[in-house]
Structure 1
Amino acid sequence: MSMSSRRLSVAGLFVAVILGLGPWSATASAQYSQYFGRNKVQYEDFDFRVLKTEHFDIHYYPEAREAVDQAGRMAERWYARLSRMFNHELSGRQIIILYADHPDFEQTTALLGSIDEATGGVTEAFKRRVVLPMAGSLAETDHVLGHELVHAFQFDITTGARGAAGGGLPAALAMPLWFIEGMAEYLSLGPVYPHTAMWMLDAARRDKLPSFRQLASPQFFPYRYGHALWAYVGGRWGDPAIGEILKAASVSGSVAQAFAVVLDINPNDLIADWRQSIMDAHTDLVAGTSGPVEYGRVLISPESGSGSLNIGPAVSPDGSQLVFLSEKSRYSIEMYRADAETGEIENKILKTALDPHYESLQFINSAGDWHPDGRHFVFSGVSKGKPIITVIDAERGRKTAEYKIEEVGEIFNPSWSPDGRYIVYAASVGGLMDLFILDAETEENRRLTDDPYADLQPVWSPNGKWIAFVTDRFTTDLTNLDWGNYRLAVMDVETGEIGPVPGFPEGKHINPQWAADGSSLFFLSDQNGITNVYRASVEDQQIYQVTNLTTGVSGITALSPAMSISSESNKMVFSAYEGDRYTLYAIDDQTVLEGGPVQPPLAEINPAVLPPADRPVGDVMALVDNAYLGLPPTSDEFEETKYSAGLSLDYIAPPNAAVGVGSSGTLIGGGTALFWSDILGEHNLVTGLQVNGSIADIAALVGYENRRSRWNWSFSGYQFPIARRGFTPLAIDEQGRLFQSLLTIRQISRGLRTLWTYPLNRAQRIEFGGSYQNTIYDYEEERIFAQGDSEKIDKPKCSDEVVPLCEPDAVNMVSGSAALVYDNTFFGFTGPVLGQRYRLEVEPIVGTFDYVGALVDFRKYIMPVSPYTLAGRIVHLGRYGTGGEDFRLFPLFIGYQQFVRGYDNGSFDISECNDTVSDDSFVGGGEGGCDVFSQLFGSRMLLANFELRAPFPQAFGVRAPTFLPITLAAFFDAGVAWWTRDGAIEFGGGNKDPWNLVTSYGLAARINLFGLMLMEIDFVHPNNRPRKGWIWQFGFSPGF
C-alpha cells in the first residue's frame, strides 16, 4: 500500500517558473522539467473500459477482458466480507484499475513515481483508487485484491467529512505500517498462514521479537509482524475489536491509546503477552524439528561473501556450479555464479542495477535453468515493458540469445529440455497463468494449457517425455471461485495429457525437481504447517520426507522457488529462512535425499496457526473461508461502458492567510492550490493563487499535464510578482520639507510554458520545451512629509548605465530548448551512491536578449569498496551571444554552496578586498574593485567537484541508526567564471589568466531531516581568499 500524492508546494510552483533566479539560470528549461531522475516509461497505449458491478467501477483494457469478470465477482465478495468485519459501508462507488500483468501495472499513470516488481498493488488516498495487476493465479489475485480493499475501507473510515479532496486526508496515512499493512494481511489471509508463522518462529528462536515501540522500526517487516499481532488481538479479544481500534485510532490520533481504550490493556502489556504466546509456540516445536545444517552444509551466506538475501538457486547439471540471486550489491537483486563445492562467488552474471535493458529479473516468482551443456543459463525477465527469455554464457556473462515473446505478459521459470532445443515456461496471459514451449532454434512458440487454472513452475523430466508443474486444477472450484491447494501434475509432452502426482490432502505442493534418474520428484510442501522438502517416488507412489526444519525452506514469498537439483549428480541446493536472512544450503549425501517416513504432526496445534494457541473460530476465519458470501453467481448483471476522462478534484492545498502590520504598512496575503485529475491520471490540472496585498501582487498559475501516451507534455501559464517594500531614512527635499520615502520595488513575470518529454528507457529521455516570458519592473516612491501629506515620485527609466532606483524597460523573451538526460543512479539516504547521470541542454533565447544558453552536467558515482562512494561532477553553464551579458540578467555565480564551497556571497566583507575598494565598487573587479569577490561572476562558468563519501556510522563498523541519516565527505571543489566583453575573454575580477581557478577543500556532513530536506554543514578552506582560513558553512543543499 502506498499513497499517490500531487500535493505540491504552492510557493514552489510559482518560484519554478521565474527566469533568471537561482544558480541554474543559464538555461531556464531545466527549472521546469525534472532535472534528473529515472523515467517511468509508458510503452503501451491502453484502451480502458469500465465494468460496473453493484459497488465497483473496474477499469480494464482488452488484454484483461477474460479475467475482469472474475475480478468483479471477487471484489463483490470482499465487499460483503469487509463491510461486515468493519461494520461500515463505503461512501460512494469504489474504483479499481486492473492491469493484466505487472509490466503493464508498472506503466500506470494513476500513480506517481516508479513501481518496483515487489509491489503487488496500491491504494491511493485522494480518489481512493485501488490499482493492481492480476497476480498470475486467481487465488493470488484474490488475496491482493482483498488486501487493497482493506486499505480502501481504512481510508474511508478514517477520512473526515470533507474527504481527501477537501484537504482531509485519511488519518490512516499517519498510522504505523505494521498497524495498517498488518491489518490488511490478517483480514485478507486469516490467522492460518505458514509464511508469517515462519517469520515469528525465527524471531522467537533468536529472542528478537519487538517491543511495542520497536514495531515501527524498519528492522521488523510490517506485513509479517503486523499480521501476527492482529491475529493475536483477534484471537484473544474477538475480531470485531479490530474495527473498533481503527476507529478509535482515527479519532485520538494515537494507536497506543486506541489499544488501551478498546482492549483495556496497556500496549506494552499486550505486546508482552503476544511475545510470550509466540515463545511458547516455538518451545513446543523445537524438540521435534531441526536446523538446516542437520541436512546439508552452508553454501552461500553473508559469511561466504554474499548478502543476506540469497534465493532462486539453480545447480548446473554436473553439480559444480550454482547460479543464484542476491542483494550482495546492496542496491538491487543481481544474478551471481558460484562454485557449488566451496560457495566462492565466481562472477556477477548481470549488472542489472545499472543496465536499463533489464527492468526485471522476476526474482520473486522465478528462477532460471542450466542448459544441458553446463555452460549456458536461461532466465526470464522484462525489457521495454515486454517479457523476454535470455540465454547467457554464465562464465563470461555474455548474452548469446534473447527471445521476445509478444503474445504473453510475463514469463516465469524457464526450463530446458534434455536435448537443449526446447524451453518450457509458465506465462501470464490476460491475467491467467498457463504453460508454453519455445523452440530455441526456430523461435516457434506453442501453448500447452489454456484455461483459468493456475499452471506454474514447469520442469522437464530427464527423459524428455514429461513435464512436471504446479497447478490448482485438481482442487479449485472455478464456478464458486473457491481456491484449493496447489498440487503437482505431470503432462505427457506428446499428447498433452495431464495427471496428478501423489500428494498430501492439505498444504501447498510447489517447486518440483526431478531426480537425476527420473525415478523421483522432489517438491516443497507445508502440509504440516512448515515448508519442507519431500520426495515423491514414481515407482511406489509413496512420499518421503527429506527435511524437518524449525523455520522452513523458503524464498521471498510462500510460492517462490527455493530448491534446485543437478540433473546429473543429484546435488540439491535449497534456500532456508533462518536468522532473519535467506541462506543457501547444499545436500550432497544421497542417503539424506532418500528421505524417510513423513513425520507425524509436530504439535497439537498446526504451526501455521498464529497465536493464541486456544484460538476460537473467529469472524475473520469464518468469512475468509466462506467462498459464497456476497459472491455474485455470474457476471451477467455487470454493465460495461466506455471510459470517460473527466477531471475531478484530488486535493486542495491547505489555504493560508496572513495579516501583517509594520513599518511598511498593513499587508494582507494568502493562497491555495487545487489539484485535479481524471481517474486514470492521464490528464492533470493544477490551479494556484496567492495574494500578497494588491492586484499587482497576485501570483497565479494554471498548469495542465497530459500523460496519455509515451510522449508526456504539459502547458502552463503564470504570473509571479516579487515585491520589496521599505522606508528610507529621514531626508529634506529641495523645498526644505522633512520627509521619509516608502519605496516599493516590484518585478512581475508573466509567461507561458510547454514541455514535451519522451523516455527512451528507464534511464534516458529527451526533452523539448518552449516558452514566452514577459517581465516588467515597477519602482514606486511615495514621500511622506512630516505635515501628514504625501507625494508620489516618478522614477526614471534605466539607460545603458544603471543608476540608483531607475526603472528598467520591460523584458520579453521567447525560447526553445532541447535536452538529453540520462540517470541510472542509486540513492542512499542523502544522495547518489552508484551509477552516473548527465544532462546536455541547449536553449536559444530571442527577444530583449538574444543568446543561447548551454548546459553540460556530467556526474559519476563509483563504489570501490562498500559502503564508500567516490563522486565526481563536471559542469559547464554558459550564455553565448552578446545578449547573455546584459546588465538586467543576473550574472552566473560559482560561489553557491552547491558549486564551489567556501565562497558564499554572505561570507564576504570589505576587509577582503583591495585597499582602494569602496562600498559602491564592492562587486566590481580590477582597480578599485573587489577581485576576490568579483572573480566568482561571469556569463559562463566551469566547475569540477570531487567527494569521498561514507555513511555515518556504518563506515566505522557501527550499525546504522534510524534517526537522521548522515553522510560524511571529504571534498575538493574547483571552478572558474568568465565574461566575453568586447569579444575578449575576461575572467572574474578582470583577470585574463584562464587557469586562475577558484578552489577549496574540506569536510562535509549531509543530514537527512526526516525525509523533508537535506542539511549540509561544511568545514572548508577556500584557497583563493587570502585573508580567510578555515570557515564553517551551513545550508540546505542537496549536494550533487
Structure 2
Amino acid sequence: MKKLVLIILIASVFSPSLILAQDVAFGKNKVRYKDFDWSYLQTRHFDIHFYDEAYPTAKFATAVLESSYVEISKELNYLIQRRIPVFIYNSHNDFQQTNIIPSLIPEGTGGFTEVFKNRIVVPFSGSYEDFRHVLHHELTHAVTFDMLYGKALSSLVSRQRLFSMPLWLAEGYAEYSSRHGWDSWSDMVVRDATINGYLAPPWALGGYLAYKEGQAMIKYIADKYGEEKLGDIFRNGKIHLTMNRTLKETIGVNEEEFWKEFSKEMKRRYWPDIAIRKDPEEIAKQLTKARKDGSYYNEKPAFSPEGDRIAIFTDKSDYTEIVLISAADGKVVDHIVKAQRSSDLESLHSYVSGISWSPDGKKIAFVTKSGGKEAIFLYDFSKGKVTYKKRLDYYNILAPAWSPDGEKIAFSALEGNKRDLFLYHINKDQVEQLTDDRYDDIDPSWLPESNQLIFSSDRPHSRNLKIDINQHLYVDSGAFMPGDFEYGYYNLFRIDLINLAVTELDVGPGQNKAPAVSPDGRKVAFISNRNGIDNLYVAFLDSTRYFAVTDIISGVKSLSWSPNGKAIAFSAFNKGAFDIFMLKDIAPVGDDGILTLTDFMLGKYDLLRTQHGHKVLVAHKLEMDSTVNGNVAVEWAGDYEAYTVDSTTWTAIDSSAIDSVTPGADTTSVAADSNLVDKTGIRNGEFVFINQSASDPLESIMIDINDTTGHSREGSTEPASFDSIPLPLPSGEYIIKKYETKFTSDYAGGGFAYDTFFGLQGQSYFVFSDYLGNNQIYIATDLVNTIDQSYIQAYYFYNRHRTNVGFGLFHSKNFYLDNSDHLFSDRFYGVQAFANRPFSTFSRLQLGVSQYFIDREYHDFDDDRENRNSKVTTGELAYVTDNIIWGLTGPVNGRRAKVSLQYGINLFESDDIEFQSIDVDYRKYWHFKKTFSMAFRVAGGASFGNTPKQYFLGGTTNWIGNRTLDAKVYDVKNLYFADVVTPLRGTPYYELSGNRFGLVNWEFRFPMVEYFVMRFPLSLVIANVGGAVFTDIGAAWADNNFKGGTSEEGSRLKDIKTGFGFGMRANLGFILLRYDLAWSTDFRNVSDKPTYSFSFGADF
C-alpha cells in the first residue's frame, strides 16, 4: 500500500492543478549512491540474492534460513506455500538505498519483510550473530505472512486479510523464535518495565516495548499453554479477525484476562530483584535526566583529558547530536554537532559508534555518514567547527579511538564480508589494516604506549564454553558453531601493532565487550553479562584477577575512564531510556566481585524440547552452582538460551567427523532431500544436513507435556517449486544466476458491472514491479460506458540509478455546472515525463514536462459559447530541501523549502495559454520541551507572459464541504493551470486572485487532550488531540497593482487579508482531522462571525 500511495503522490506532483486547495510537495529522498549488480542462488525454500563479492555471506545465509525454517515450521505446525525471496545488502548504507520499499529506512532498522511479495531484506553489519538473528527474525514474518495471506492477489479480496496482526504478536513471536525463547537483553527490558511500572497491556503495546514485552507474552503462552498454541493463534486469527476473540478461542482467556495473568507472573518473577540489585542512580551519580529533559538516548560517554567534561550522544533535541556535559553535575556546556539535517552529517551512528578525544583535549573524533560514505570528522574546539573530514571506502565504521601519542586513530570497519580493525595515520593520511579474518573485531582501546590495543572479538577463545548436552550448559543462541567457524561469543584480546600478533585475555566467562583501558595501563574495564545482566567489570592486565564493580537491575551499555582513573562514566538502561552515570567507587561488589545469577541464568524460565515432543524442565533436577576458585568464579556463559536437543534443531556432532560425510550415508550433503538441518557443522564453507535421530540425554530431567497436535503440518506437503536452477553441486557450492527483471503484481483491486443503460462500468487499480523495486508500473481505470468517457492513468517509474525517471499518460472526462448552471464537459488527457536528482537525503532537483490536451464541449442549447480544443505544453524545474521531524499531526522541528520555475507554451498554436512563473515556499519549525512547537511559513510567487498563471488565496487545504467557486475559476487556464494557495483562514476559497501573491503563516501548537473516553451516548476514545493558535496574512494582486493599506475610513488593510483564531487536530490513525475557528480582520475591524472549517491532512 505504501508503494501505491507513493506512486499516486509522485504522479500528482506533475499533474496540473484543479480547483481544490493544494499543498506543496516536499519530502526527503532515498538516494541511490551506487548501482547494484545482483545475482542469486537457490536452496530448497529460498531464492537468496546478493551482489559484488558477497557469495560467502549468502552461503552462510542458506544454512541459517533453512535451519531456522525448520524451527519455525515446527513451532507453527505449518509449511510455506511459496518460495521466499531474500535480498542481502553488504552494509546498512547499501540497505538504506533499497527500492523494495519506498519509505526511508532509519539507522536502527535491522531488516524488514515486505508483505505483497513476501520479500526478506536484510543488511550484513559484520556480526554473524546479529545477521543470524535478523535472518531468523524476518523469516518468522515471511512464514506468518504466507500463513495468513497466502498469495497476495487472492488474499486482497478474501476475508482473512481483515486480520491485522497486532505488533506485539508479530514482533513478539519473531523475537521468541529468533532468540530461541529468551535472552538476557529481553530479560533486562521486561525486568525494567515490570519494576518501574510501564508494562503495557497487549492492546496498548507499541514501539520497542512491543518487541520485548511481546516476546515475553509469546514465551508465557508457550510455557503455560504449550508451544503448539502459537500456530493456533495465527490460524484462529484468520477466522476470528480480532485478537480478543482469537485468544479466547485458542487459550481460553480473552485479552484482559490474559493481561492479568501475564502481568502478575512478571511481578512474581522480577520484583524479588529489588532486594538483590540496585538501580544505577543508587550506586552512581546520575548526570543526565532522560524523559524529564525530553531525551531517551544518552550514550557513549567520553571523558575529556582534563576530566571536567564528558562528550556524549543525545537525542534531546529530536536530532541526534554530540554535546559536552559537565562531569560534576551533567549540565550541558556546549553543543558540538547535530546530524540528520545536511548531507555532511546524515547520521552519527550513535547507536553503535563512539567519540574520542585528542590527547591534548583540543579536538574530538567521531564517525558520520557523509555524502553517502563513511567518514571520520575532527572537531576543533578552538574554532568551534569541524576542521578535518576523512571519507573512507569502508562501511559501518565504529568506535574511533585516538592514540595517546596523538598520531593515529584506531577504528573498526566492515570491508566485504568481514569487520576488522584499522589504523588511520593522521599526518600521513594513510589507512593500515590490523586484522584480516572473518571474525567480528570491535571496540579498540589503546594502551598508554600507543603500541598495543585491547579489543573485543568473537574469534575463538579458551573461555568459550563448548556445548555439553550432558551437563546442559546454556549458550547464546547461535553463539557457537563447532568446526572451523565460531561466531557470536565475544571476549577480549590484545593486538601488538609491531607484529600484529593477537593474544587472548583471561577476564572471565560471559559475553565480554566494550573494553576501556585505564589511564595507567594496568587495568581494563569492560561489560559482561556473565550473571545475566550487563554489568561493569574490571580486570588486571598483569594477572587473572577480575571482579564486578556494579550489580544493577537494568544493564550497562558503554563506558569511559576518568583521566585520573578514579571514576568511570557509563551509560545504562534505566526506566525505559538510557542515561549517563558517574561511578566513583570502583571496588568489587557482590561476593568479592562475583554476582548472583539471575533466575534466567539459572534456567528457571526455560522450556526445553526433545525429539519426542514438548517437555518442561524439572527445576530441582538441574543444579547450577558457581564454583569459586580463589577469586575466580566459573559462572555460566553468554546470553543463556535454552539449548534444545532435537533432530530438527541442534544436533551436536563431532566436528572431526565432518570430513567423512558423504552423500548416501546417514548424513547427507546439502543436495539431500531433507528438512533436518544441523547448524553445528560447517567446514570449508560446507553446510551439513542431519537426517538421523539422536538419543535424548536430557530425558532423565524432563517430563512430558500432553501433545495432541501430532506431527502433521498445515500447508503443502511438497517443497515450494524451483525454477530452472539445478540443485547445489555435490561439493556443496551453488550455481549462481544473474538477476533478471521480471514484473509481478504488488497490488490489484477493483470491480466491474454492466448495466443495460450505462453499459460497462468499473474501477480497477494495478501496481506491478520487479523484485528489486527498480521498475514500477501503476495503472488505474474508472470505466464508464466507453473509453472516451473513462478515467485512465498509466505510469512507469525507473529507479535503479541515482536519477529517478518516469513517464506516463492519462485520460479523464469530467462534467461541470458553472455559476450560471450551464453544463459543460472537459476531456482531459496527455502525457508526462519527469526526473529527479537527489543530492542527499535532504535536497533534490526535480524536472517535469507535460503535454496536455483539453477538449471542452458545452452541452446546453442556450449556451452560445463555442467548443474549444487546447493544447498546452508545460514544464517545471524545482529545487527542494527538507530535513523536518514529524509529530503526530505535522512537522515539529527543522525546515523545508522549495523554489520552482514553471512555464507553459503553445507549441501547437492551438491556444493562447502561455506563461512563466517563479514560486518560493519556506517553512521553519521549532520544538520546545518535546511537547510544544511553533511553525512559521513565508511563500510568494509571480507569473508573467501572455496569459500569466493565476494564484487563488483563501480557505484551508482539504476543506470539507466548502464548494465556493468564482466564475473565472472555470476558465481553462485557471481550472488546470492556476495555483490554489492555502491556508488563509477566516476567508473563503478564491477570496483573492492575481498573478502575484504573498502569504505568511504563524502557528503555535500545543497538546490539548491527552486521552478522552466517552461511554454515552457513543462509545468513543480519542487520544492525543492537539491545539493551535494561528495568524494568516496573505495578498494576491495583478501585476504591480498592489496597495497594502489605506487611510480611507480610517487606517486599515486593503489588498492584504488577515485571519486569526484557534483550532484542534486529532490523529485518528487512518486520517488527520482538523477543526479551525477563524476571524478575519483589516486591523481596524474584526468580522462579526467567525468562519469554522473541518478539514483533513497534516498541518503545514
After TM superposition, the score normalised by the length of structure 2 is: 0.80
Could you say if the C-alpha distance between residues 374 and 777 of structure 1 is closer, same or farther in structure 2, counting changes exceeding 3 Å? Answer: same
Note if 1:880 corresponds to 2:881.
no
Partner SS for 1:274:
helix
Cα drift, residue 376 of structure 1: 1.4
Question: In the alignment, is the contact (CA less than 8 A) between 2:606 and 2:617 conserved in 1?
Answer: no
The residue that corresponds to 2:983 in the other structure is none
Range 266-275 or range 766-775, more displaced: 266-275
Question: In the alignment, is the contact (CA less than 8 A) between 1:897 and 1:1037 conserved in 2?
Answer: no
Question: In the alignment, is the contact (CA less than 8 A) between 1:771 and 1:816 conserved in 2?
Answer: yes
Question: In the alignment, is the contact (CA less than 8 A) between 1:10 and 1:672 conserved in 2?
Answer: no
The residue that corresponds to 1:1029 in the other structure is 1089
Match of 2:764 among 648, 661, 672: 672
The residue that corresponds to 1:700 in the other structure is 792
Partner SS for 2:868:
coil
Partner SS for 1:359:
coil
Structure 1 segment 216-235 matched on structure 2, within 5 A: 216-218=205-207, 221-235=209-223
The residue that corresponds to 2:1030 in the other structure is 971
Note if 1:633 corresponds to 2:630.
no
Note if 1:411 corresponds to 2:397.
yes
Cα drift, residue 868 of structure 1: 3.0
Question: In the alignment, is the contact (CA less than 8 A) between 1:281 and 1:611 conserved in 2?
Answer: no
Match of 1:758 among 837, 844, 848: 837
Question: In the alignment, is the contact (CA less than 8 A) between 2:534 and 2:555 conserved in 1?
Answer: yes
State the alpha-carbon separation in 1 of the partners of residues 831 and 404 from structure 2.
65
Match of 2:308 among 315, 320, 324: 320
Cα drift, residue 597 of structure 1: 2.2
The residue that corresponds to 1:40 in the other structure is 30
One-letter amino acid of the counterpart of residue 352, structure 2: N
Question: In the alignment, is the contact (CA less than 8 A) between 2:935 and 2:1003 conserved in 1?
Answer: yes
Note if 1:577 corresponds to 2:573.
yes
Cα drift, residue 17 of structure 1: 6.6
Note if 1:498 corresponds to 2:502.
yes
Cα drift, residue 304 of structure 1: 8.2
Cα drift, residue 262 of structure 1: 2.0
Q: String of CA shifts for 1:671-718, please: whole Å, max 9, x gaps.
A: 111100011100000112111344331111110000010000110101
Q: String of CA shifts for 1:739-772, please: whole Å, max 9, x gaps.
A: xxxx853211111001110001111110111110
Question: In the alignment, is the contact (CA less than 8 A) between 1:239 and 1:619 conserved in 2?
Answer: no
Match of 1:944 among 1000, 1009, 1018: 1000
Partner SS for 1:90:
coil
Range 14-23 or range 186-195, more displaced: 14-23
The residue that corresponds to 1:442 in the other structure is 428
State the alpha-carbon separation in 1 of the partners of residues 989 and 255 from structure 2.
61
Note if 1:683 corresponds to 2:762.
no
Could you say if the C-alpha distance between residues 552 and 159 of structure 1 is closer, same or farther in structure 2, counting changes exceeding 3 Å? Answer: same
Q: What is the aligned-residue identity percentage?
A: 25
The residue that corresponds to 1:1013 in the other structure is 1072
Could you say if the C-alpha distance between residues 816 and 370 of structure 1 is closer, same or farther in structure 2, counting changes exceeding 3 Å? Answer: same
Cα drift, residue 594 of structure 1: 9.0
Note if 1:508 corresponds to 2:562.
no
One-letter amino acid of the counterpart of residue 459, structure 2: R
Match of 1:182 among 172, 184, 188: 172
One-letter amino acid of the counterpart of residue 523, structure 1: F
The residue that corresponds to 2:351 in the other structure is 364
State the alpha-carbon separation in 1 of the partners of residues 78 and 896 from structure 2.
50
Cα drift, residue 1039 of structure 1: 3.6
State the alpha-carbon separation in 2 of the partners of residues 12 and 377 from structure 1.
43
The residue that corresponds to 1:922 in the other structure is none
Could you say if the C-alpha distance between residues 321 and 168 of structure 1 is closer, same or farther in structure 2, counting changes exceeding 3 Å? Answer: farther
State the alpha-carbon separation in 1 of the partners of residues 425 and 10 from structure 2.
55
State the alpha-carbon separation in 2 of the partners of residues 316 and 607 from structure 1.
41
Note if 1:375 corresponds to 2:356.
no
The residue that corresponds to 1:737 in the other structure is none
State the alpha-carbon separation in 2 of the partners of residues 169 and 102 from structure 1.
37
State the alpha-carbon separation in 2 of the partners of residues 9 and 689 from structure 1.
18
Structure 1 segment 268-347 matched on structure 2, within 5 A: 268-302=256-290, 305=293, 307-329=295-317, 331-347=318-334
State the alpha-carbon separation in 1 of the partners of residues 500 and 153 from structure 2.
55
Could you say if the C-alpha distance between residues 709 and 527 of structure 1 is closer, same or farther in structure 2, counting changes exceeding 3 Å? Answer: same
Could you say if the C-alpha distance between residues 393 and 596 of structure 1 is closer, same or farther in structure 2, counting changes exceeding 3 Å? Answer: farther
One-letter amino acid of the counterpart of residue 95, structure 1: P
Note if 1:71 corresponds to 2:61.
yes
Note if 1:745 corresponds to 2:824.
yes
One-letter amino acid of the counterpart of residue 870, structure 1: M
Could you say if the C-alpha distance between residues 990 and 564 of structure 1 is closer, same or farther in structure 2, counting changes exceeding 3 Å? Answer: closer
Cα drift, residue 821 of structure 1: 0.9
One-letter amino acid of the counterpart of residue 879, structure 1: S
Note if 1:153 corresponds to 2:146.
no
Partner SS for 2:72:
helix
One-letter amino acid of the counterpart of residue 501, structure 2: E
Note if 1:854 corresponds to 2:854.
no
One-letter amino acid of the counterpart of residue 687, structure 2: P
Structure 1 segment 116-127 matched on structure 2, within 5 A: 116-127=106-117
Could you say if the C-alpha distance between residues 417 and 693 of structure 1 is closer, same or farther in structure 2, counting changes exceeding 3 Å? Answer: same
Note if 1:112 corresponds to 2:102.
yes
Q: String of CA shifts for 1:413-447, please: whole Å, max 9, x gaps.
A: 01111101111111112242111111011121111
Range 748-757 or range 598-607, more displaced: 598-607
One-letter amino acid of the counterpart of residue 279, structure 2: G
Question: In the alignment, is the contact (CA less than 8 A) between 1:895 and 1:902 conserved in 2?
Answer: no
Cα drift, residue 368 of structure 1: 1.5
Question: In the alignment, is the contact (CA less than 8 A) between 1:861 and 1:872 conserved in 2?
Answer: yes
Match of 1:544 among 532, 542, 547: 547
Cα drift, residue 903 of structure 1: 14
One-letter amino acid of the counterpart of residue 916, structure 2: V
Partner SS for 1:287:
helix
Cα drift, residue 79 of structure 1: 2.3
Structure 1 segment 345-360 matched on structure 2, within 5 A: 345-360=332-347
State the alpha-carbon separation in 2 of the partners of residues 45 and 640 from structure 1.
19
One-letter amino acid of the counterpart of residue 649, structure 1: S
The residue that corresponds to 1:80 in the other structure is 70
Cα drift, residue 224 of structure 1: 0.6
Could you say if the C-alpha distance between residues 577 and 173 of structure 1 is closer, same or farther in structure 2, counting changes exceeding 3 Å? Answer: farther
Question: In the alignment, is the contact (CA less than 8 A) between 1:1003 and 1:1020 conserved in 2?
Answer: no
Cα drift, residue 272 of structure 1: 2.4
Structure 1 segment 6-25 matched on structure 2, within 5 A: 6-8=3-5, 19-22=16-19
Note if 1:237 corresponds to 2:225.
yes
Q: String of CA shifts for 1:932-978, please: whole Å, max 9, x gaps.
A: 9986122332222222222334799xxxx994533322222122222
Could you say if the C-alpha distance between residues 135 and 462 of structure 1 is closer, same or farther in structure 2, counting changes exceeding 3 Å? Answer: same
Q: String of CA shifts for 1:273-300, please: whole Å, max 9, x gaps.
A: 2222222222443333222234321122
Give the aligned length.
Answer: 946
Cα drift, residue 902 of structure 1: 14
State the alpha-carbon separation in 2 of the partners of residues 995 and 1021 from structure 1.
13
Match of 1:897 among 933, 940, 956: 956
Could you say if the C-alpha distance between residues 805 and 320 of structure 1 is closer, same or farther in structure 2, counting changes exceeding 3 Å? Answer: farther
One-letter amino acid of the counterpart of residue 357, structure 2: W
The residue that corresponds to 2:48 in the other structure is 58
The residue that corresponds to 2:562 in the other structure is 566
Tell me how large the CA RMSD over aligned residues is.
3.6
Structure 1 segment 771-786 matched on structure 2, within 5 A: 771-781=850-860
One-letter amino acid of the counterpart of residue 1004, structure 2: L
Structure 1 runs not aligned, ≥5 long: 26-30, 555-561, 730-742, 782-792, 796-803, 886-890, 910-930
One-letter amino acid of the counterpart of residue 560, structure 2: S
Could you say if the C-alpha distance between residues 839 and 988 of structure 1 is closer, same or farther in structure 2, counting changes exceeding 3 Å? Answer: same
One-letter amino acid of the counterpart of residue 490, structure 1: R
Q: String of CA shifts for 1:878-923, please: whole Å, max 9, x gaps.
A: 43112227xxxxx532113249x999774999xxxxxxxxxxxxxx
Could you say if the C-alpha distance between residues 20 and 633 of structure 1 is closer, same or farther in structure 2, counting changes exceeding 3 Å? Answer: closer
Question: In the alignment, is the contact (CA less than 8 A) between 2:1044 and 2:1055 conserved in 1?
Answer: no
Could you say if the C-alpha distance between residues 18 and 546 of structure 1 is closer, same or farther in structure 2, counting changes exceeding 3 Å? Answer: closer
After TM superposition, the score normalised by the length of structure 1 is: 0.84
Question: In the alignment, is the contact (CA less than 8 A) between 2:28 and 2:841 conserved in 1?
Answer: yes
State the alpha-carbon separation in 2 of the partners of residues 154 and 953 from structure 1.
37
The residue that corresponds to 1:785 in the other structure is none
Cα drift, residue 327 of structure 1: 1.6
Question: In the alignment, is the contact (CA less than 8 A) between 2:524 and 2:541 conserved in 1?
Answer: yes
State the alpha-carbon separation in 2 of the partners of residues 369 and 671 from structure 1.
60
Question: In the alignment, is the contact (CA less than 8 A) between 2:1045 and 2:1055 conserved in 1?
Answer: no
